[in-house]
Amino acid sequence: MRDDSIFSGVQLDAILDALPDPAFVLTRSGRYIAIFGGADVRYYHRSDSLIGQRIHDVLEKPKADWFVNEIAVALAEGGLHVVEYDLASSDVKGLDTNGPTETLRFEGRVQPLQFPVQGEDAVLWVASNITARSELECKLRTLSEVDPLSGLLNRRKLMHVLAEHYETFVRYGTPTSVLIFDIDHFKRVNDEHGHLCGDKVISATADVCRRELRATDAPARLGGDEFVVLMPHTSWDHAEPIAERLRARIAEALCALGEIGCQSTISGGLSEIAAGDTSGEDVLKRADDALYQAKRQGRNRIIRS
């Protein structure tokens, strides 16, 4: 408990205004009753003019509906309700330029008040700008999931996604095909032209994967010159023409690099998650075995297993 007697009314107002994050007193219907803090326009728009208005007067309907719903959830729960949300300039009606213009990410801490305000249930909504934290989390997630050279999924993320598709197959029988391939004569590229040229070959191959594969497919760089493509909701009968098109397009792209890629094609193995598999690694192993059959049969081909 604090002793209010040690502060004057003016001092209490100054303390509330000094809060780093804005705190809104909002009624169940979405009326702004009072606003404290959040005066730093680097992180927050000035909110003084909101008092007396309703959320639907200030925000576009979809966003306003969301806020009113979260107020209702907090009141129903009766305790602290924490949410995260984005707020863009396009969400706000008649926004002036006094404040940030980019889309902001917020954490809202919504606490029901124990007394009615102007005849309505009400909450205290504290909005913390977490944009920088969210961007950092996104960057860290990218670093942990994406191969830096190719820009495709890395091995760690690949195995996670493969495990998810295996579980979906076990539960619902949803097919997933797996293509694993590597670049023919890649060692020769590195030996004769250097590793920087080898990197160009890897990047060009990844570019073709992004361009030619479907949005639902998950291409990854397994390591070195080895790639994997997960094709969910796809049996190998439907996956085979996709794999063959990818083989042809990669050969064209590598040939376009000139001398460093003119002898480079891909060899691949294609398989599908099967009823007897005990994990996603089983299908990966079958596809890998088929890849080596493709190598033995002369390269520049896709073998199904």
End-to-end CA distance of the chain: 71
Instruction: Residue 67: name the closest of 109, 105, 30, 27 by CA.
Output: 30
Domain extents for the chain? 4-137, 146-304
Instruction: Residue 25: name the closest of 130, 129, 110 by CA.
Output: 110
Angle at 302 between CA 299 and CA 305, to 5 degrees: 120
Tens-digit pLDDT profile for residues 252-271: 999 999 888 887 999 999 99
Instruction: Residue 263: name the closest of 194, 192, 207, 184 by CA.
Output: 184
Q: What gap in Å lies between CA 236 and CA 276, rounded to an integer? A: 16
Give, as one character, the DSSP assignment of residue 4. G
The reported pLDDT for the residue numbered 5 is 67
Q: Respond yes or no: is residue 225 known to be catalytic.
A: yes
What's the whole-model pTM score? 0.66
Residue ranges for the chain with pLDDT beneath 70: 1-5, 39-48, 94-101
What does each C-alpha distance from 65 to 11, 78, 105, 195, 199 come to in angstroms? Answer: 36, 20, 18, 56, 50
CATH architecture of 146-304: 2-Layer Sandwich (3.30)
91, 121, 217, 225: which one is catalytic? 225
- In DSSP terms, 124 is beta-bridged to 25, 111
The reported pLDDT for the residue numbered 47 is 67
CB 221 within 8 A of CB 206: yes
What CATH code would you report for 4-137?
3.30.450.20
Tens-digit pLDDT profile for residues 213-264: 999 999 999 999 999 999 999 998 999 999 999 999 999 999 999 888 887 9
